[in-house]
Amino acid sequence: MTNTMPKIIRKTSPYLRRPNANAPRMMRDVTIALLPATFFAIYSFGLPALWIILTSIVSMLVTEYVFYQIQDLLQGESFKVINKQFSLYNFSAVTSGLIYGLTLPDQTPLWVVALSGVLGILLAKLLFGGMGQNIFNPAAVARVLVVVNFATLATYQTNIDGVAGATALSMNNADLFSADVLNHYPIMDLFTGIGIPGSIGETSALLLLLGGGYLAVRTSFEIRIPLMYIGTVFVLALAVAIQQGLGLWYPLYHIFSGGLMLGAIYMATDPITSPITKPARVYYGFALGVITFIIRIFGALPEGVVFSILIMNMFVTSFDYYKVTHPRFNRKRSLIFIAIIILSIVVTLVGVSYAG
């Protein structure tokens, strides 16, 4: 009788399969990939962007360092300046802090940045047991804490050569299908980020894609997730555009606006909080796209990226368990997945026909 029991993996995430892959190399690559968007944020928003980025990184690093020092003291160990569990050496806390800082509006008070950074890494990572044990993305948790607790304090102003006021997504959220948004934010400006108000690291889709290309060349991220994530948002927006008689500008507007590029390329691909199997990564990216688009169209908030990532973080193990239980992605399961895609489009269009 053939033994069909799956092999038990006796180690914590991240599960890296590529030759020479390791967590420090991957985290360093993510930091390097974000440098163009980081420099552009500082150039566009000036010193406030620099202080926000530094505060977010330092708040997470210091919290982790103090947490592990207290943990050692409680376990009766002598004080050591260099704690082996402190993740400064593998860049994970630096990467989380950098991503978190880039998701923030330029007018976010620094005490809000610091407090949410402390709580984000403490609640989402350290209390779960540290790197490899957490199920939620620390940067996404910190950003959601800002949205939930300090939304009125974290406001948007302006970019170079730009205008103060509503971001492209919040403007369109007030009138779902109005092409008037293009008079304020042309598609090419949304792509380059020049003159576009928004969170400091999310305005330039071009630079975020450039960083994504670097990660792809370095094989330092899972490309199926951002492709499915961005592709799903594009397809749903295209279906809505056809139904409402809008042009191609509508799906392009959705993929170039807000935090979709940053979330899809740098947050959803976190090797610790994303699925480990290839089919699961496809389902994961698809679900992220559906939830994000539904929140944008039907939700009270104009943006849905960080919320969709945290929601789907809870189901990562379920996706991987499905793959272990059914090891082959056969024709029957492919047809089921296609049916789910079609059903998602139909449900979205029915909902839009009422919302519009």
Rg value, the chain, Cα: 21
| Amino acid occupying residue 126 | L
Predicted local confidence at residue 178, as pLDDT: 76
Q: What is the pLDDT, as a whole number, of residue 163?
A: 46
- Give first-to-last CA distance, the chain, whole Å: 59
Is residue 144 within 8 A of residue 26, CB to CB? The reply is no
> In the numeric block, which tokens belong to residue 153?
């304090």
pLDDT of residue 21: 58
Q: What is the pLDDT of residue 1?
A: 45
Per-residue tens of pLDDT for the chain, all 356 residues: 445 555 555 555 555 555 555 677 888 899 999 999 999 999 999 999 999 999 999 999 999 989 988 888 888 887 777 776 666 677 888 999 999 999 999 889 999 999 999 999 999 988 888 777 888 999 999 999 998 888 777 666 655 555 445 567 776 666 777 777 787 888 998 899 888 888 899 989 999 999 999 999 988 888 899 999 999 999 999 999 999 888 899 999 999 988 999 999 999 998 888 888 888 889 999 999 999 999 998 887 778 899 999 999 998 888 777 655 565 677 888 888 899 999 999 999 998 887 65
How much is the pTM?
Answer: 0.87
Give pLDDT, residue 322: 66
Give the model's pLDDT for residue 18: 55
